[in-house]
Each structure stands twice: as structure tokens, then as C-alpha cells.
A and B are shown apart, each in its own frame.
Chain A
């Protein structure tokens, strides 16, 4: 499976697709990230959990909460597209979703555990996709995309946030 063409994802997702490209098989990458991300998250010092690098920016826990929400929402879209869904699927307002939760009430470990458990569940979906399903298209948030394009978005979005955590938070 090769990296998706520009008509397989939304323009605002090009950066994510770019990050996840040239890293070998996308399904293998998503499997590997389950553990890599978990290890990265559980090694963040507890004292950093509520840190934000500027006023108005998410805290570390809020970033993880956003990663979990995104993982669920992307997987929902992927499921629907891989079942031939033709309906337009809803967008989501990431700030509204993050600020609706009191992530401070939860431990870093518990959030990391949830991310890992959610990815583990989604890997069953990803690992069982047939070549035909990878080429199916659907529409979410007003953009057409392929199942293959969405897999790259999932991995790239995750790596993008891990990069920001590494560069600006730690």
C-alpha cells in the first residue's frame, strides 16, 4: 500500500499524511505506534501533566485527551467508509471537546492506558481491511477521503502531537 494521493484526504490534513509517509507500511506503523506512544506518554514526568507552554494552550493531559477523542472519531469514520457509507459524517470542534472534559481529574497513566486500549481495539479494524476496502471513499467534515488516506491521517495526527509535546512541553 502506497502513500495516498492528494485527492485522498482533506487539504488541511496534508501535513499529517506527509508525516506518516515514507515510514514503511502504514498498518505496521499504526501497530508500532500503539506501544511507542504509550511508552512516550507514560514517561512524561508527573509534574509536567498540567503544564501548558503558553496561556490558552492545552495542557499535556488535554493533549492526550484530544488524542483519545481523535482516535475514536477517526476510527468511527474509518469504520463507516470501509462499510461503504455514502452519508456525510459530522465534523467535531476539538476545543469544545477538550474543554468539555476535566482531564485534570485523571492521571497521566490512566489517560495513556485509555489511548493504548482504544488503539488496540482499532487495530482489529485496521488489520482486517481488505485491499478493496482501502480504496473506498467517504466524506467527513465536508471532504472526500479514502480509507487509505484516513489511515495516514490517523498516524500523522498522532505523530504531529507527539512532536509538539516533545518540542514545546518537555
Chain B
């Protein structure tokens, strides 16, 4: 499967698609990231979970919880678009979501387990996608995007946050 064309996603997702495009087969990448991301968080000292690099920034736990929320929301859009949904899918305000989520009361290990388990559930769905479904377009927050480009967004968003964590938190 080739990387999606620019008309398959919105300009604000271009960075994510780019990141995921450098890594070979997208379904293999999403499958491999399930364990790689899990291990990344499990290798951190547990107390690092509460660290933020500046006062108004998310903690490591909050970043991970944001990755889980995003995984669930993008998987929902994937499902709807693959089923030829024509309604516009709502956006979500990531800061509002994180403010309500009480992520800092959870352990890093519990959140890492959750991420891996949510991705494992989604891998079933991703593996069931047919070539016809990959090219279906849907509308999320006012932009059209193909199912395939959503897969790249899913992986790229994850890689982006892992990069930020490595660069600014460790």
C-alpha cells in the first residue's frame, strides 16, 4: 500500500502522514507500534509518569491518556467511514478532554496496558479492511479524509507524541 496523496487528508494532518510514511507498510507499522509504544512507557521509571517539562504542559500520563483517547476516536471514525458514513464526524477539544480525564490518578502501567489493549482491538478491525474500503472518503470536522489516510494519521500522531516525549520529557 502506497502512502496517501495530499488530497486524501487535511493539511493539518500532513505532518502525521509524513511521519508514518517513512516506516513501510502501514498495517505492519500499527501492529508493531502496539508493542513498541507499550514498552516505551513501561521502561520509564514509574515516577516519571507525573513529570511535565513546563508548568502548563501535560504530564507523561496525560500524554499517554491523550494517545488512548485519540486512538479510540480515530478508530471510531475509521469504522464509520469504512461503512460509508456520510455524516460529518465531530472534532474533540483535546485539552478539555484531558482536563476531565483524571489521568494523573492512574498508574503509568495501567495506562500503558490500556493503550496496548485498545490498539489490539483495533488491529482486528484494521486487518479486516478491504482494498475498496481503504479508498472510501469520510468527513471529520469539516475535512474529507480517506480510510487509508486515517490509518497513516493514527500511526503518525502516535509517532509524533513519542518523539515529543523522547525530546522534551526524558
Contacts and interface: CB of A to CB of B under 8 A. Distances in A.
Interface in A68-123: 69, 72-73, 75-76, 79-80, 82-85, 87-92, 96-97, 100-102, 106, 110, 113-114, 117-118, 120-122
B92 A83 contact: yes
Interface in B60-86: 69, 72-73, 75-76, 79-80, 82-85
Contacts of B76: 72-73, 76
Contact of B73 (A79, A87, A97): A79
B144 interface: no
Interface secondary structure of B, over-half rule: helix
A88 B90 CA distance: 8
A84 B96 contact: yes
B106 A92 contact: no
A83 B84 contact: no
A97 B82 CA distance: 9
Nearest to A88: B90
For B83, B96, B102, B114, the residue with the greatest tally of chain A CB atoms inside 10 Å of its CB is B83
Nearest to A87: B90
Interface residues of B, number: 34
A2 interface: no
**Interface residue tally of chain A, by bracket?**
35 or more
B121 A90 contact: no
Contacts of A72: 75-76, 79, 125
25 contacts: A69-B79, A73-B79, A73-B80, A76-B76, A79-B69, A82-B100, A83-B97, A85-B90, A90-B88, A91-B87, A96-B83, A97-B83, A100-B84, A101-B128, A114-B128, A117-B121, A120-B117, A121-B118, A121-B121, A121-B122, A124-B113, A124-B114, A124-B117, A125-B114, A133-B100
